[in-house]
Amino acid sequence: MAKDKKNKVHRPKAITPKGFRDYFGSEVTERAEMLRAITDVYHRYGFDPLETSAVETVEALGKYLPDVDRPNEGVFAWQEEDSDWLALRYDLTAPLARVYAQFRNDLPTPYRRYAMGPVWRNEKPGPGRYRQFYQCDADTVGSGSVAADAEICSMLSDTLEAVGIPRGDYLVRVNNRKVLNGVMQVAGVLDPSDPDKFHSERGIVLRAIDKLDRLGLDGVRALLGEGREDASGDFTKGAGLGTEQAEVVMGFMQAKRDSKAATVARLAELVKGSDIGTKGVQELETIAELMGAQGYGPDRIEIDPSVVRGLGYYTGPVYEAELTFQIFDDKGRPRNFGSVAGGGRYDDLVKRFTGQEVPATGVSVGVDRLLAALREKGRIHSVSKGPVVVTVMDRDRMGDYQAMVADLRNAGIRAEVYLGNPKNFGNQLKYADQRDSPVAVIEGGDEQARGVVQIKDLALGARLAAEIETTEEWKAQPAQMEIARGDLVAEVRKMIARAEKGQA
């Protein structure tokens, strides 16, 4: 008789939602180690930790999503019954603005905080582009001094070196939105008396400048004008600037010179006649002086007019950390890795809550992207962090094996007893290999009677593990040694140290 399809049990599919991924063992450990290295630098600079809720009201998050025009696009949002719309945070800065506005009477001014954690963006996923990712931020709220921006830049440089990016493989590039606004004013697409005028055109100009690396000068020039048709035939509408207007913007993009001073001088020429542009140039000049005074030369931090940043809330200096070494794409073509961190000054963000301008500046490090860069260059040398595995030769002696594990754990050594089916010893060794264990401990009845244990250096014997079929063969390997039971902790510690030294 055929089974009744109506009674068939529905089982959910075991799949990860689109745009999300799972992280296992070493990936989680590597991220934790990187976050520790980053926050150590932040802490050294005097910043305090802050942990905010993953959920904010949509109203509190505001309209400052990257590369979108509609207020609530790009967030994972839902409406509480008869209440506000809520959303997962899309960055760590918008929650900071809410926190400062809410607790400003209890917080020091300036308030210096760092934060780390996942953020969520309801965007179309792609290769290497996920809807959930980690950020690690540091911000100073309540200081209008350009020295606060310069400090963020020096801290960002120190952070990259702390996680393993040497000088010569990165640049912290600095620009100023006020300079760009001055250029817009000179080009005729910004009216200081009516900020909303030419809003659409300015948005297209910003996006065009931000695509310089991908489209080149000709592609950007086309977007500044009538528009651009790509290789597939798709047409992108341009800003509609005239030739003279477009050349002012193009001149800004090509203003970088061989030194900070020369670049600043060229920018001063381009914004002549614009008060806001002139102020921005003066701020860049101050940043350059402060960087020089601290010993941060052009090999680490440079003034670069092509940096615009995508978020709409930046009001002054903006900065971006770019990795300059080359990697190869899926088709074997060389390309630069690109940006792994960025930020800037956002003096109007807290004002949304308080009605009063509160100056602020900060930076956000893309943790997952930075980890990917280090893996690409082979600069994550993770020492084996798997546990020592105590194998089970006699299931009736589980208490003895647990006593060994307790001794190791009490000495600060990560360890576990094999808790699977102990019948097949080879499976225990395969398990230890899967766990990336540095050492296996073996004690049968004979060893117990003689007061000894066998310890095996798995790092040394890994290449032979697949060929071993019996306990006798395993014991015969040179990586294995017999020690007194009382020396277990000391000898295991030595073996782990040798393994770590060999992987360093």
The reported pLDDT for the residue numbered 101 is: 96
Q: How far apart are CA 82 and CA 55, in angstroms?
A: 18
385 versus 347: the higher-pLDDT residue is: 347
The reported pLDDT for the residue numbered 382 is: 55
Tell me if 320 sits within 8 A of 339, measured CB to CB.
yes
End-to-end CA distance of the chain: 65
Q: How far apart are CA 461 and CA 480, in angstroms?
A: 8
The reported pLDDT for the residue numbered 503 is: 57
Q: Which two tokens stand for residue 107?
A: 């917080």
302 sits in which H/E element:
strand 301-303
Q: Using one digit for the tens of pLDDT, what is the confidence trace for 40-64?
A: 999 999 999 999 999 999 888 876 4
The reported pLDDT for the residue numbered 472 is: 63
> What band does 2 get if pLDDT is binned at 50, 70 and 90?
low
Q: How many CB atoms lie within 10 A of CB 57?
A: 15
Tell me if 43 sits within 8 A of 114, measured CB to CB.
yes
DSSP letter string, 463-504: GGGGG--SHHHHHHSTTEEEEEGGGHHHHHHHHHHHHHHHH-
Query: pTM for the whole thing?
Result: 0.82
Q: Using one digit for the tens of pLDDT, what is the confidence trace for 191-226?
A: 888 888 888 888 888 888 878 878 888 898 999 999
174 sits in which H/E element:
strand 170-176
The reported pLDDT for the residue numbered 137 is: 97
Q: Cis ω on the peptide bond leading into residue 108 (within 30° of 0)?
A: no
Question: Domains plus CATH for the chain?
Answer: 25-196+251-376 (3.30.930.10), 388-503 (3.40.50.800)
Distances (CA, A) of 295 to 291, 300, 359: 6, 10, 26
Q: How far apart are CA 424 and CA 486, in angstroms?
A: 27
* b/e map 103-136, b = 16+ CB within 10 Å: ebeebeebbbbbbbbebbbbbeeeeeebbbbbbb
276 sits in which H/E element:
helix 275-294
The reported pLDDT for the residue numbered 94 is: 92
CA atoms within 13 A of residue 32's CA, in its CB half-sphere: 9
Q: How far apart are CA 284 and CA 317, in angstroms?
A: 7
CA atoms within 13 A of residue 429's CA, in its CB half-sphere: 23
Antiparallel, parallel or unpaired: β 439-442 and 388-390: parallel
Residue 13 has pLDDT above 50, yes or no: yes
Residue 72 has pLDDT above 70, yes or no: no
- Mean pLDDT is lowest, of 38-42, 44-48, 118-122, 253-257, for 253-257
The reported pLDDT for the residue numbered 341 is: 95
Please choose, from the candidates 350, 351, 346, 425, the residue with its C-alpha nearest in 3D space to the C-alpha of residue 390: 425
199 sits in which H/E element:
helix 199-210
Q: Which two tokens stand for residue 440?
A: 């296996």
Give the pLDDT mean for 313-337: 81
